[in-house]
Amino acid sequence: MKILQVVPYFYPAWAYGGIVRVVYELSRELVRKGHDVTVFTTDVFDEHSRLPGPSTRTGGVTGANVEGISVFYFHNVSNRLAFQHQLFLPYRMLGQTRKSVKRFDVVHMHGHRHLLNSIVHRRAVAERIPYVFSAHGTLPRIERRQFAKRIFDGLTGTRVLRDAAHYTAVSQAEVKQYEAFGIPPYRVAVTYNGIDVPAYSKLPSKGALRKQLNVPEDAKLVAYLGKITRRKGLDVLVNAFEKLDGEHWRLVIAGSDHGWGAELDRRIAALPEPVRSRVTRIGHVDEARKMQLLVDADVLAYPSTLEVFGLVPFEALMCGTPVIVTDDNGCGEIIRAADGGRLVPYGDAEALHAAILQTIDNPTETARQIGLGRAHILENLAWPTVSERVLGVYETVVSHH
């Protein structure tokens, strides 16, 4: 098949979160299976920089071959608007879309409320090319810019959502989000996000990050990895950590700031000493440092809400690290099915505190959960399996169309 993936950020823009990794790894697996995959994206990289490429005066688009994937990195007009406000303005994309969309068998749009989808939507409808829509948790009008999201939906977002040939969700929790926007469940296929299992075949040795951060070998390290936003429950994690008695506890919070970093810093600063000095923020981490953090941690806490999937707890399990997740979202849905970790109610610092202690104090039960979680990942979330489910959706919409 000739497949076009549409996403506002792509490899190696890891600072933009899990969607980048999912689309990259899905595209790579589709290429391995013999399909022709193209990606339309922008040249954003992180809050302060963009990927190297031509300026608007020299064409505005960089073409690249990424492990067999043909990638069009369109010059994004404002890096600041992209990172801080999720407003992507892809220069010269309209012309390329007009020329090339008709050659694809199917289009796959990732994420909601960005102009790349709107540009491709108009051409795909005009050329009668079916497209699959994957929200990746971006459907609800939550957190920042809720009024702007309503305006965008009125102008173009609702049409993009409505005209899709089919939809994918990464959990039953996300199926309910589609229902809230008028999409019936029978039009939504649950295709879990995949895990790059071979990447965890050789893990780094323990201790390197602890040494860098001056964390004693005998200290119990609680870790969080993910975006710094309000719904991630970091205020609850800080409150739970404060309840842990003793000098042998450490908390490391890693991830790029998406609007809540200043508030998180304020809450950490309000902690009494010596608790405050045992909390460390390390910002965005690259792949090597991420793996090292997950290996060095004694427990990963992921106390977020409205999380339709959440890759990090599954990555932690592949590193042999126990996980604690909230029970009201897609991540908890999968961990519960696997019996692969401990679940707590969102917003309950007492329950999170108790779960951290139970994880550390019951090593036999914790090891059992890690084993079950890893087995569930290998059976259900490896990319060869997940990509077959996605291909089934593509084949369905193409044949029906």
pLDDT greater than 90 at residue 231:
no
Count CA atoms within 13 Å of residue 50 on its CB side.
Answer: 26
Task: Copy the structure tokens of residue 125.
Answer: 């409808």
pLDDT greater than 70 at residue 57:
no
What percent of the chain clears pLDDT 70, i.e. is strictly above it?
Answer: 97
Q: Which residue type does 385 have?
A: T
Whose structure tokens read 């993910």? 226
- What would the mean pLDDT of 173-201 be, rounded to a whole number? 94
- Contact between 166 and 132 under an 8 Å Cβ cutoff? The reply is yes
Pairing between strand 2-6 and 36-42? parallel
The predicted pLDDT at position 87 comes to 86
- Quick: pLDDT tens for 289-335: 999 999 999 999 999 987 888 889 999 999 999 999 999 888 899 99
Whose structure tokens read 């492990």? 67
pLDDT greater than 60 at residue 31:
yes
What distance in Å separates the CA atoms of residue 190 and residue 313, rounded to the nearest whole number? 19
- Pinpoint the residues of the chain covered by CATH 3.40.50.2000: 2-194+382-400, 197-380
Q: Which of 77, 80, 128 is nearest to 102 (CA)?
A: 128
Tell me which DSSP letter residue 11 carries: T
Whose structure tokens read 């289009």? 107
- Contact between 382 and 192 under an 8 Å Cβ cutoff? The reply is no
What distance in Å separates the CA atoms of residue 314 and residue 323, rounded to the nearest whole number? 8
pLDDT greater than 70 at residue 56:
no
What distance in Å separates the CA atoms of residue 83 and residue 260, rounded to the nearest whole number? 13
Work out the angle between the directed axes of helices 261-269 and 234-242 (0-180°, nearest 10).
10
Confidence of residue 62 (pLDDT cuts 50, 70, 90): confident
- Quick: pLDDT tens for 68-81: 999 999 999 888 88
- Quick: pLDDT tens for 354-396: 999 999 999 999 999 999 999 999 999 999 999 999 999 999 9
Q: Which of 65, 26, 99, 64 is nearest to 385 (CA)?
A: 26
Task: Copy the structure tokens of residue 176.
Answer: 């309910």
Domain 2-194+382-400: CATH class, spelled out:
alpha beta
The predicted pLDDT at position 112 comes to 93
The predicted pLDDT at position 59 comes to 64
- Using a CB cutoff of 8 Å and minimum separation of 24, what contacts does 61-66 make? 61/91, 61/92, 61/93, 61/96, 66/11, 66/24, 66/28, 66/39
The helix (run of H) or strand (run of E) holding residue 116 is helix 115-127
Task: Copy the structure tokens of residue 147.
Answer: 């009024």
- Contact between 261 and 284 under an 8 Å Cβ cutoff? The reply is no
What's phi and psi for 295, nearest 5 deg?
-70, -40
Task: Copy the structure tokens of residue 178.
Answer: 């589609």
* 197-380: in CATH 3.40.50.2000: yes
Coil, helix or strand for 141?
coil
Task: Copy the structure tokens of residue 259.
Answer: 């609007």
The helix (run of H) or strand (run of E) holding residue 384 is helix 383-400
- Contact between 324 and 300 under an 8 Å Cβ cutoff? The reply is yes
C-alpha to C-alpha distances, 317 to 80, 166, 367, 368, nearest whole angstrom: 35, 32, 10, 11
